[in-house]
């Protein structure tokens, strides 16, 4: 679908989402937290379609943080099963829609079958260019900065990196700068997500719990974004990527 500019206003090139509230959604219904994550996956599908249809170039989703390993083993294992089946089930549609899948985070800590599916999904969608869907698994913003610093020291010798050069070592290298960071579930914090990348992102906090989030909430976030004046520490010249 060609993005409708009259409806959407300025379109961010790169949107990231902290998909929070699955546990509270489930608890309010007397369901298990894992059931909340399963319903969260449905909201994830809606969000991918919503942003792809509006011409967003990259969508980064916080699916499992470095700190989520502290959760009960049963919840962590249920999440891994959900990721494995989600990759398998969604792959045909992602391919059909021309969406490229990319995973960021300390993937070597994950079960081998999940790692294998991640690698296979990346390989099968690697040539797609409608939108890049980045799934952060085992991800932490501090981890990202530290792994980038380590690689930079190993690969760049004595050269002092400028911010743009350093960004090439982050796990998000090659993606557009982050424009809009959305968090659902009513909390207002970044929780060790894209710390470096969020430097000039617009932040948008939604009250809705992630499984309840649908197109109207996402449209609200885009409308909020398009009303913000971005100055990047300067005078306020717009810097958005133009979409045809
Ligand atoms: C946070 O809610 C949610 C997660 C840690 C898991 C998010 C995963 C999904 C929505 C599935 C998406 C799958 C793919 C493949 C992208 P919470 O459990 O912290 O909720 P709470 O704050 O209400 O307890």
Q: Say how far apart CA 228 and CA 200 lie, in whole Å.
A: 12
Q: How far apart (Å, rounded) are the C-alpha atoms in residues 224 and 204?
A: 8
User: What does the block give as tokens for 139?
Assistant: 């991800």
CB 51 within 8 A of CB 59: yes
The model carries a pTM of 0.91
- Residue 94 CA to residue 125 CA, distance in Å, equals 8
For the chain, first and last CA: distance in Å?
11
Picking from 59, 57, 102, the residue whose alpha carbon sits closest to that of residue 241 is: 57
What is d(CA 84, CA 30) in angstroms, rounded to the nearest whole number? 26
Q: Strand order of the sheet with strand 58-65?
A: 99-104, 131-139, 58-65, 14-18, 180-183, 202-205
Cβ < 6 A, ligand 1 pocket: 19-24, 33, 37, 40-41, 44, 61, 63, 68, 82-83, 86, 135, 185, 210
Residue 43's pLDDT is 98
> Which CATH code is given to the segment(s) 11-227?
3.40.1180.10
The per-residue pLDDT for range 33-55, each reduced to its tens digit, is 999 999 999 999 999 999 999 99
Probe target for ligand 1 pocket from 26, 63, 192, with the most ligand atoms within 8 Å of CB = 63
- 3-state SS assignment for residue 100: strand
- Residue with CA at minimum distance from ligand 1 atom 6: 63
Band (231; pLDDT cuts 50, 70, 90):
confident
CB-based contact 41:205 (threshold 8 Å): no
Read off the pLDDT band of 236 (50, 70, 90).
Answer: low
Mean pLDDT, residues 138-154 taken together: 95
Which residues lie closer than 8 Å to 195 by C-beta, 6 or more apart? 141, 142, 144, 145
Cα 34 to the center of its chain, rounded Å? 20
- pLDDT per residue over 152-183, tens digit each? 988 887 677 788 889 999 999 999 999 999 99
Distance 62 CA to ligand 1 centre (A): 8
- For residue 29, the Cα-to-chain-centroid distance in whole angstroms is 27
Q: How many A from CA of 158 to the centre of ligand 1?
A: 41
240 among known catalytic residues: no
Is residue 53 part of the annotated active site? The answer reads: no
Residue bearing the CA closest to ligand 1, atom 22: 21
Report the percentage of the chain scoring pLDDT > 70: 92
- On whether the CB atoms of residues 142 and 67 are closer than 8 A, the answer is no
CA 96 to chain centre: 20
Ligand 1 centre to CA of 11 (Å) is: 25
User: Which of these, 237, 194, 227, 167, lies nearest to 12 by C-alpha position?
Assistant: 227
């Amino acid at each position: 679908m060609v993005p409708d500019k009259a409806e959407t206003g300025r379109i961010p090139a790169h949107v990231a989402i902290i998909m929070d509230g699955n546990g509270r959604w489930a608890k309010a219904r007397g369901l298990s937290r894992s059931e909340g994550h399963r319903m969260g996956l449905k909201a994830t599908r809606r969000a991918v379609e919503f942003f792809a249809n509006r011409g967003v170039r990259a969508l980064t989703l916080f699916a499992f943080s470095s700190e989520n390993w502290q959760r009960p083993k049963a919840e962590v294992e249920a999440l891994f099963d959900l990721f494995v089946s989600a990759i398998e089930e969604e792959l045909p549609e992602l391919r059909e829609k021309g969406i490229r899948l990319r995973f960021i985070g300390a993937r070597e800590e994950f079960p081998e079958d999940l790692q294998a599916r991640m690698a296979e999904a990346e390989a099968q969608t690697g040539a797609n260019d409608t939108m890049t869907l980045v799934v952060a698994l085992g991800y932490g913003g501090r981890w990202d900065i530290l792994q980038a610093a380590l690689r930079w020291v190993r690969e760049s010798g004595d050269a002092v990196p400028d911010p743009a050069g350093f960004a090439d070592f982050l796990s998000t290298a090659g993606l557009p700068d982050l424009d809009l960071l959305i968090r659902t579930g009513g909390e207002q914090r970044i929780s060790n997500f894209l710390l470096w990348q969020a430097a000039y992102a617009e932040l948008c906090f939604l009250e809705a719990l992630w499984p309840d989030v649908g197109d109207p909430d996402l449209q609200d976030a885009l409308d909020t974004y398009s009303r913000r004046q971005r100055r990047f520490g300067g005078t306020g010249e717009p810097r958005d990527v133009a979409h045809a």
